[in-house]
Amino acid sequence: MTGYGGGAGALAGLRARWRRLTVGRWLVTGIPWLWLVIFFCLPFLFILKISLSEPALAQPPYLNWIRETADGLVSIVVNFGNYGLLWDDSLYVSALFGSLQVAAISTLLCLLIGYPMAYAIARAPTHLRMPLLMLVILPFWTSFLIRIYAWMGILNTNGILNNFLLWLGVIEQPLEIMHTSLAVYIGVTYAYLPFMILPLYATLSRLDPVLLEAAADLGARPAKQFLTITWPQSVPGVIAGAMLVFIPVMGEFVIPDLLGGPDSLMLGKLMWTEFFNNRDWPVASALAAVLLVVLIIPFLLLRHYESRAEANGEEAA
């Protein structure tokens, strides 16, 4: 193009491109937003609505806020008592701490076991990586419930593990693992391990091996290489993996119910009791809303901290 002769045409072309770009952007960001609104915000609003209503012997078992009274008047009754109940009764607070404890310990166990596994897969010869990753994903092809039932068969007093150890002569009496918190930790760690390995693998496989060679050339021992190069660069993967394990374990119900003992008190089980045994949907919904807030606050703080760290990093660069 010579001079500014075709300026108007070029501008129109730019505008059209810009429009296409913004439409494309809207589409790209719009779909996840739509997803979030339909599958997260709306259900959460329903939960919030139920949590502020009163229980009743009816179908569904709660009263609407907006009710028509006998004399034709419309009354709006909002009941905040359900949240008060959660606060007043120490049972809910101790269940929260029970869930936090199980989630924290399981996340740590997943990290301790998952990190070396992800590292080994990332460092494995290229042609072995896909098969190894497949082995991590393979258990998902079986129903989650069946896999937990399989653990019941393994850990039972008369189960495979005890029979094997007795046969070896390692133990005299069968070990009491089933229906203890140890069984819960085993089950949870097993079930959520892939969620830790996959994001860790994703970050570790992108790590530039040249950095490690350079560190070795400069005299850093393997431990130092790991602490100064590998670990700091894998932190985003660790955080992603920890989130993927910690958050669902907080609300876990099936594993503690099937493998756990009577003394395991977790929010999931308590929510079940409210929903199924007490038929108190409002309190169950209040509990769900509180759990969500408890989980979302540290997540938002972390995002905030991360985006600030990123901004700082860009400034420094």
Partner 1 sequence: MKKVACGLARVIAWFTVRATGLVFAGSALNAAAQGSVNVYNWSDYIADDTISNFQSRTGISVSYDVYDSNEVLETRMLAGRSGYDLVVPTARPFADRHVRAGLYQPLDKSLLDNYGNLDPVILQSLADIDPGNQYLLPYMWGTTGIGYNVDKVKEILGDDMPLDTWRLVFDPEIVSRLSACGVSLMDDATEVFVAARAYRGLPTDDYSSAAAQEAADVVAAARPYIRYFHSSSYISDLANGDLCVAHGYSGDVLQARDRANEADNGVNIAYAAPAEGAVVWTDVFAIPVDAPNVANAHAFLNYIMEPEVIAGVSNYVAYANANSASVSLVDDVVRNDPGIYPPAATQERFIVLQTPSDSQIRSMNRLWTRVKTGR
Residues that bind partner 1 (CB under 8 A): 55, 57-61, 89, 91, 94, 146, 149, 152-153, 156-160, 179, 261-265, 270, 273, 275-280
Q: Which is nearer to partner 1, 58 or 74 (CB)?
A: 58
CB of 262 to partner 1, least distance (A): 5
CA distance 184 to 258: 9
* Of the candidates 231, 233, 248, 234, the residue with the CA atom closest to the CA atom of residue 299: 248
Q: Residue 194: helix, strand or coil by DSSP?
A: helix
Q: Which is nearer to partner 1, 28 or 57 (CB)?
A: 57
* Of the candidates 92, 150, 114, 118, the residue with the CA atom closest to the CA atom of residue 246: 114
Q: Which is nearer to partner 1, 91 or 297 (CB)?
A: 91
CB of 282 to partner 1, least distance (A): 12
CB of 30 to partner 1, least distance (A): 32
CB of 113 to partner 1, least distance (A): 26
Look up residue 178 and give its two tokens. Answer: 């089933």
Q: Which is nearer to partner 1, 89 or 306 (CB)?
A: 89
Q: Which is nearer to partner 1, 117 or 283 (CB)?
A: 283
Q: Which is nearer to partner 1, 92 or 119 (CB)?
A: 92
CA 165 to chain centre: 35
Phi, psi of 74 (to 5 degrees): -100, 125
CB of 146 to partner 1, least distance (A): 7
Number of continuous H segments (helices) and E segments (strands) in the chain: 14, 4
CB of 155 to partner 1, least distance (A): 11
Helix axes 281-316, 231-250, angle to 10 degrees: 170
Q: Which is nearer to partner 1, 183 or 193 (CB)?
A: 183
Using a 10 angstrom Cβ sphere, with 0-12 exposed, 13-18 middle and 19 or more buried, the burial of residue 185 is: middle
Beta-bridge partners for 66: 76
CB of 76 to partner 1, least distance (A): 23
Beta-bridge partners for 196: none
Which residue type occupies 64? Answer: N
Q: Residue 207: helix, strand or coil by DSSP?
A: coil
